[in-house]
Structure 1
Amino acid sequence: MASTALEACQSTVTALGRYVPATISVLLHVHDRLRCVAATGSWQVFSTVSPEQGIVGRVYSTGTGVTVPAVADDPDYLPVRPDVVAEVCVPVLDPAGRPLGVLHLQWSGPVELGPWRETAERVAARLGARIIALGGPPAESRSEKLLRHASALTTAGTEWELNERASCAAREVSGLSAAVLLLTDPTAGLRLGAPARAPGELESRIRAELVEAGEVPLGRIMARAHRHGAAYTLGEPGQPPVADYLPLVRAGVRTLVAVPVGPPDSGGVLLVADERLGRPDPTTVNLMELLAGQAWTCLDRLRTLARLRERASSDPLTGLGHAGPFGERIATATPGRTALLAIDVDGFKSVNDTYGHQAGDQVLVGLARALQGALRHGDELYRTGGDEFVAVVEVGQPGEAVGVAERLVEAARGVGRTISVGVALPRRGEPPESTLRRADEALYVVKRQGRDGVRLAAA
């Protein structure tokens, strides 16, 4: 009498439960998990199980039933209640012999398992045939899809990866064909999130129109979502769109769900669209709002971690790398090619003593910018102490490193300061710390000789 696969599974466990003194469950393969779709007599069941996990996973993956007279002796047993002693698990197969799921029976007392194994296999065969006759196992529900995608968002390692996963989730859960994230970047302003790996034609057109529209129209779309909340079309023909959405209309959008993401000053908007004229229901919009909330939580976490990493690896005053990343960099120095330039600001103590530390900080910030501007592409500058800097440069010969150092001296003079620079190239087999020590020794020779100059350490 069952009219759906789920009803057939529930009827099966209900009927078996009248005669079998066991806890009974049916797990079907839905998407990438074994999902419990019917159960009886159990204090607790696992909602989903990986096809590679437990006795049920073993039975599903092999297509062969098992009889387990003592569950404590089976390393794959997944405990759901403390008094289970034995179980029978058989595959639910379609008429062609392909596994659809498993029928699982567990006993908490002595039982002769042989006859029940035979009964379970016969029932499972009937159930498999009936499931196929009713159209196959149930499809993954939209809420189940959202849960799966929400879990995937939490494991995204980069903002780019997160944007891509959020767009994929929006398309799959909503049933619409295109999804685009429009975000406020803390440093770059408004921008589009990562595209899908294989964006459809509509999504490509939307992205092209939004890029061509520029920041002002994008800002209006963003402001509209955050001012008024989520919005969606009703799918009725002949209704004119508001002016804010004209770039989307030009791309061919006829159905749209727009959901704010995060706060107005640092978040964005999720646009989910289709070129077919449809009518998204409120439940779909609610699911998109849940997805947007999860995406923002994950995005905010990634941005916070990025800020913490930046603070941990850079000097807060000048923004240069500090002693930690400098140590990592010189550990990879190439003998004869990686030059270390030890730099000391001449007379810096007198600035602090005369004008105060705030004035000294301004000197350091201005000098750091000047020195960075004098370096070549690929050269690196670190602040390793109060008024001490080190440049790491790749050169072909010692004279090239001296030339870079002389440009640094000129850059310092350009902002009204002088510096002393010692240059050293690593010797073969020499620890980086020793190379830096030789650069420091050359620097102090410059200091003793009147400052404002460069000296190359002996090779």
Structure 2
Amino acid sequence: MDHERVVRDATVRLPMASTALEACEWIVAALARHTPAAISILLHVHDRLRCVAATGAWQVHATVPPKAGLVGQVYATGEPAAVADVTADPDHFPVRPDIAAELCVPVLDPAGRLIGVLDLQWSGPVELARWQDTAERLAHRLGARIVALGGPPAESRGEKLLRHATAMTAAATEWELLAAAITAARDVSALSAAVLLLSGPPEPRLGAVTGTPGELESRIRAELAETGSAALDRLITRAHRHGAAYTLGEAGHPPTVDYLPLARAGARTLVAVPVGPPDAGGVLLVADERLLRPDPTTVNLMELLAGQAWACLDRLRTLARLREQANSDPLTGLRHTGPFEQRIATATPGRTALLAIDVDGFKDVNDTYGHQAGDRLLVELARALEGALRQGDELYRIGGDEFVAVIEVNRPEEAVRIAERLTEAARRTGRTISIGVALPHPGEPPERTLLRADQALYKAKHQGRDTVHLSTT
């Protein structure tokens, strides 16, 4: 193999390349005439190595995370690497089942900064040392040409949308999701402002604000915040009734009445895209102070973004409902055993009081008037007890007519006073309750504290019911 000829053939046309992609494609095509290797060039675009030219492989990896596989390792270290037996490399990215050896070298700019990698993989015997020298020389010349042409290609809008869609999918909260969607709308559209207006209930509201919003976005949010809910509803209804819309960038044409708040804020360019269903979704508004003409592709990308945002938002809301159902008693809406056990596990000795509550004569109500009457009684009592507790106190239903309140107090007498307030609230419903109070001792397991509260409750029952008893043991 005449490696000097390989270098000449691969670089002779390089000065004529008009784009970085064209330069990479010529290098790969020329190399393929001299070796049966699977060849690929990956350039760093945003946060990943993206394959921009390849040949000789049944399959290539479109993107590779930094540090993944040999190409990722080479990009992370800036040092060439050769593997004579890929079966011994646990991080090898297979492109063909017959690949035996792999060589990867960094592509550097003239200042020595990494901009990508050149990767070659062979299925048969190969002189890796000779090919490494050749590949490094080619990578050096390619890096210089790429820089002369303005550097690696910018991330396309489709690639941006894919990256942002991944971030939205990973969002753990509704706020994180809406913030990610707004960031994506600005980035993909190249317009300066993005606002999400969400449907009620109880009334339309503005979605999260992310980062430091620009002046136009701040003015739009302020105008919309001062606009009545009826006008906001019209904005949402318009988008859902007529579909996505955008300005043509022509001066001298007044906005429709629905968009007057945006015009007052200074918006001269606007893309409006419906999000989700009218009763639960909203509208994505992307705007700019400049008088521009958004192309249909931009609108299509915003529609794709809105669809992804709604799918993620609907998933988060569904998960929240399922978690609420799993953690709540379906009859009273109070939290039940699982959350209660988690709460008492964090009890503070001498400060966290457990109030074990039992409805007096509840079995007689069920036996005399039926279970529906008993259920109504439990719901009414639950609301009454919740209303008598302080902000931050917690009430749980742990079974049947048994409730437990978890409260933070400074001394036992304070817990007793709150318990007495609960008995008074129960009396106002026409029923009575008995309460046992216990505060955890240092080092005492939560289960033991609850047992002492139950024992105090039984003593309150024996004392004639409709009373409070404090555990002193």
The bucket for the TM-score relative to the shorter chain is over 0.9
In structure 1, C-alpha distance between the alignment counterparts of 2:79 and 2:345, rounded to whole Å: 56
In structure 2, C-alpha distance between the alignment counterparts of 1:433 and 1:25, rounded to whole Å: 63
**Matching residue's letter, 2:426:** A
The answer to whether the aligner puts 1:276 opposite 2:287 as a matched pair is: no
In structure 1, C-alpha distance between the alignment counterparts of 2:92 and 2:444, rounded to whole Å: 58
Aligned to 2:259, which of 230, 245, 250?
245
Alignment match, 2:110: 95
In structure 1, C-alpha distance between the alignment counterparts of 2:129 and 2:344, rounded to whole Å: 70
Alignment match, 1:125: 140
**Deviations, residues 202-258 of structure 1 (Å, cap 9, x unaligned):** 111111111111322111111111111111111111111111111111111111111
Alignment match, 1:433: 447
Task: Name whichever of 128-137 and 68-77 sits farther off.
Answer: 68-77
**Deviations, residues 332-386 of structure 1 (Å, cap 9, x unaligned):** 2222222221111122222222332222222111111111111112211111111
CA contact (8 A) 2:216 2:288 kept: yes
**Matching residue's letter, 1:430:** E
CA 98–441 in structure 1, closer or farther in 2 if over 3 Å, else same: closer
Alignment match, 1:454: 468
The answer to whether the aligner puts 1:378 opposite 2:392 as a matched pair is: yes
Task: Using the TM superposition, give the Cα deviation of residue 143 of structure 1 relative to its aligned residue in structure 2, in angstroms.
Answer: 0.3
CA 97–425 in structure 1, closer or farther in 2 if over 3 Å, else same: closer
Matches within 5 A, 1:150-169: 150-169=165-184
In structure 2, C-alpha distance between the alignment counterparts of 1:81 and 1:29, rounded to whole Å: 24
Alignment match, 1:227: 241
In structure 2, C-alpha distance between the alignment counterparts of 1:122 and 1:335, rounded to whole Å: 71
Counterpart secondary structure, 2:204: strand
Task: Using the TM superposition, give the Cα deviation of residue 181 of structure 1 relative to its aligned residue in structure 2, in angstroms.
Answer: 1.1
Counterpart secondary structure, 2:102: strand
Alignment match, 1:25: 40
Aligned to 1:298, which of 297, 312, 318?
312
The answer to whether the aligner puts 1:170 opposite 2:185 as a matched pair is: yes
Task: Name whichever of 219-228 and 330-339 sits farther off.
Answer: 330-339
CA contact (8 A) 2:199 2:233 kept: no
CA 61–414 in structure 1, closer or farther in 2 if over 3 Å, else same: same
Alignment match, 1:322: 336
Aligned to 1:41, which of 53, 56, 78?
56
In structure 2, C-alpha distance between the alignment counterparts of 1:355 and 1:236, rounded to whole Å: 74
Q: CA RMSD in A?
A: 1.6
Aligned to 2:433, which of 400, 419, 432?
419
**Deviations, residues 286-328 of structure 1 (Å, cap 9, x unaligned):** 1111111111111111111111111111111111111111112
In structure 2, C-alpha distance between the alignment counterparts of 1:369 and 1:153, rounded to whole Å: 38
Task: Using the TM superposition, give the Cα deviation of residue 271 of structure 1 relative to its aligned residue in structure 2, in angstroms.
Answer: 0.9
**Matching residue's letter, 1:102:** V
**Matching residue's letter, 1:113:** L
In structure 1, C-alpha distance between the alignment counterparts of 2:88 and 2:472, rounded to whole Å: 73
CA 74–393 in structure 1, closer or farther in 2 if over 3 Å, else same: closer
Alignment match, 2:160: 145
Task: Name whichever of 9-18 and 449-458 sits farther off.
Answer: 449-458
Task: Name whichever of 151-160 and 336-345 sits farther off.
Answer: 336-345
CA 338–246 in structure 1, closer or farther in 2 if over 3 Å, else same: same
Alignment match, 2:372: 358
Task: Name whichever of 43-52 and 94-103 sits farther off.
Answer: 94-103
Percent of aligned pairs sharing the same letter: 75
Alignment match, 2:205: 191
Runs (5+) with no aligned partner, structure 1: none
Counterpart secondary structure, 2:107: strand
Task: Name whichever of 281-290 and 96-105 sits farther off.
Answer: 96-105
Alignment match, 2:383: 369
CA 364–8 in structure 1, closer or farther in 2 if over 3 Å, else same: same
CA 56–355 in structure 1, closer or farther in 2 if over 3 Å, else same: same
CA 62–337 in structure 1, closer or farther in 2 if over 3 Å, else same: closer
Task: Using the TM superposition, give the Cα deviation of residue 23 of structure 1 relative to its aligned residue in structure 2, in angstroms.
Answer: 1.5
In structure 2, C-alpha distance between the alignment counterparts of 1:25 and 1:432, rounded to whole Å: 62
Task: Using the TM superposition, give the Cα deviation of residue 185 of structure 1 relative to its aligned residue in structure 2, in angstroms.
Answer: 5.1
**Deviations, residues 374-415 of structure 1 (Å, cap 9, x unaligned):** 111221111111111111122222221111111111111112
**Matching residue's letter, 1:260:** P
CA contact (8 A) 2:353 2:406 kept: yes
Alignment match, 2:3: none
In structure 2, C-alpha distance between the alignment counterparts of 1:421 and 1:60, rounded to whole Å: 67
Counterpart secondary structure, 1:97: coil
How many correspondences in the alignment?
458
**Deviations, residues 95-138 of structure 1 (Å, cap 9, x unaligned):** 22222211111111112233322322222222222212211111
In structure 2, C-alpha distance between the alignment counterparts of 1:334 and 1:29, rounded to whole Å: 53
CA 40–381 in structure 1, closer or farther in 2 if over 3 Å, else same: same
**Matching residue's letter, 2:321:** R
Alignment match, 2:5: none
**Deviations, residues 20-76 of structure 1 (Å, cap 9, x unaligned):** 221211111111111100111110000011121111122223322233322233444
Counterpart secondary structure, 2:431: coil
Aligned to 1:51, which of 66, 69, 91?
66
Counterpart secondary structure, 2:208: coil
CA contact (8 A) 2:40 2:55 kept: yes
**Matching residue's letter, 1:235:** G
Alignment match, 1:62: 77
Task: Name whichever of 351-360 and 320-329 sits farther off.
Answer: 351-360
The answer to whether the aligner puts 1:3 opposite 2:18 as a matched pair is: yes
CA 381–125 in structure 1, closer or farther in 2 if over 3 Å, else same: same
In structure 2, C-alpha distance between the alignment counterparts of 1:379 and 1:42, rounded to whole Å: 65
Runs (5+) with no aligned partner, structure 2: 1-15
Matches within 5 A, 1:257-272: 257-272=271-286
In structure 1, C-alpha distance between the alignment counterparts of 2:130 and 2:445, rounded to whole Å: 75
**Matching residue's letter, 1:149:** H
**Matching residue's letter, 2:237:** A
Counterpart secondary structure, 1:137: coil
Which runs of structure 1 show a deviation greater than 6 angstroms over 4 or more consecutive aligned residues? none
In structure 2, C-alpha distance between the alignment counterparts of 1:401 and 1:158, rounded to whole Å: 36
CA 361–95 in structure 1, closer or farther in 2 if over 3 Å, else same: same
In structure 2, C-alpha distance between the alignment counterparts of 1:441 and 1:53, rounded to whole Å: 61
